[in-house]
Structure 1
Amino acid sequence: MARAERRQQLVHEAVEELGSQGYACASMADVAARAGVSKAMVHNVFGSKADLAQACLEEVGPRLVATIAQAQTATDPGERALDTFTAIFSAMAEHRYAWALVKDETLPEGSAAAELAQGYRAQLHSMGTVGTRDVLEAAGLADPLDHDLLDHIWESIVEAAVAWWQEHDDHTAEQMAQRLTRLLAVVTLRG
């Protein structure tokens, strides 16, 4: 296998390993085992676990951010939320644990991987904040505490939905977005 192909294979397996186990609990040996290669091969291609994590984040972070950013075009807040849900799950179709890797707080402090993850988290948070502000404005609500609370609720919903989806890999991105939208509609119905 060519070096570039081997590198891509290792990144693919490492995203799943690092994302599912967390940086602190994953090992180069576990990545090697997933890829069917030796631990020495993984070290030869990437050097260190931090370098491997950086390569993984460079693979999944830009796609995750760009896909979600493209979904922010709808003017209707409800449609925009559905588009955002679909984008989140679609962006993770190839790497189901991309979100977990970007959100991993155990990446080594001060490393390039931790800095990349922090940058992606900041971009995702910023898009979420704009979206929740727009939802509140459409409803005629301007209380900053409402916005702060809705930001927290939104992030919690996304985190919970992503975690649930990782355990139910038979659902497509579109099915997850529809399920989440349906459930949120039920929760917000007024009697």
Structure 2
Amino acid sequence: MTVLPSKAGTKGVPRAARERQVLAAATEEFGRHGYEATTVAAIAARVGVTKPLLHHYFGSKQELYVACLDPIGERLLNAVRTAMAEHPAGAPPVPLRVLHALFTALDGQREAWFVLYDPTLPPGTDAARRAAYYRDAIDDLAATGTAELLHAAGAGDPLDADALTYAWRGLCTALVRWWVQHPDQSPEAMTQRCARLFTAGRTILALGADPT
């Protein structure tokens, strides 16, 4: 493989800074368009560098995707772990703490959620396996949380916990998708909105269960 000079195509920008620019642009492209529809050429054009330079820095498109995915996966996984581990007096319930942690971790890079939850990743590839690792780890935490909530509510069917975990993942994805479309909404505003929606949901369900 041809070895390029350390500043080839960077227009004087230090390599570390240029790599950060590439990763930011690639994360947005992968998140908005999916792995399959994203091209290295489009990412290079956004940053203002050449395709050979991107390949020199990151290797293949799959390797570039993984370079975007790993910090996202670690950030989200650690955010969920921390939110579930904290139980200060008077703290919001676990679901709201987790949502606030996710919104905070994604703030400034909201499309990153869809890098992790990308249905267009080629099956059996290193990229798909790496994404599955993070998704499974987050799902395991969600399963623990939902099982605890259902146990506290007196529900004992294990399939209930599985169904609720599946629904929770879909809810998080839907909320982030809505959030992307409303860039003026801060993590705090989103958490408050979720609290209102949860309260409204409980009220609606209670009315539906009222035999009178």
Per the normalisation by structure 2, the TM-score is 0.84
Q: Secondary structure of 2:93's partner? A: helix
1:117 equivalent in alignment to 2:131 = yes
Contact 1:60 1:95 in 2 (8 A): no
1:134 equivalent in alignment to 2:148 = yes
**Matched residues, percent identical?**
38
1:179 equivalent in alignment to 2:193 = yes
- Partners of 2:86 and 2:148 lie apart in 1 by 11
Partner of 2:78: 66
How far residue 15 of structure 1 moved from its aligned partner, in angstroms, is: 0.5
Instruction: Output the amino acid matched with 1:122.
Output: D
Partner of 1:80: 94
1:51 equivalent among 60, 63, 66: 63
- Partners of 1:119 and 1:32 lie apart in 2 by 28
Larger Rg: 1 or 2? 2
Partner of 1:4: 16
1:29 equivalent among 32, 41, 45: 41
User: What is the CA deviation profile of residues 102-155 of structure 1, one whole-angstrom value per residue up to 9, with x for unaligned ones?
Assistant: 111222333322221110000111111111111111212212232222222212
Contact 1:128 1:151 in 2 (8 A): yes
Q: Secondary structure of 1:168's partner? A: coil
- Partners of 2:42 and 2:55 lie apart in 1 by 12
> What CA RMSD, in Å, does the superposition of the two structures yield over aligned residues?
1.8
- Partners of 1:74 and 1:61 lie apart in 2 by 20
- Partners of 2:108 and 2:125 lie apart in 1 by 25
Gap regions ≥5 residues in structure 2? 1-12, 208-212
User: What is the CA deviation profile of residues 25-49 of structure 1, one whole-angstrom value per residue up to 9, with x for unaligned ones?
Assistant: 0111111122122223222211211
User: What is the CA deviation profile of residues 50-103 of structure 1, one whole-angstrom value per residue up to 9, with x for unaligned ones?
Assistant: 010010012211111111110002459961111100011111113211211011
Q: Which has the higher helix share?
A: 1
Higher relative contact order (CA 8 A, sep 6+): 1
The alignment of Structure 1 onto Structure 2 pairs a total of residues equal to 191
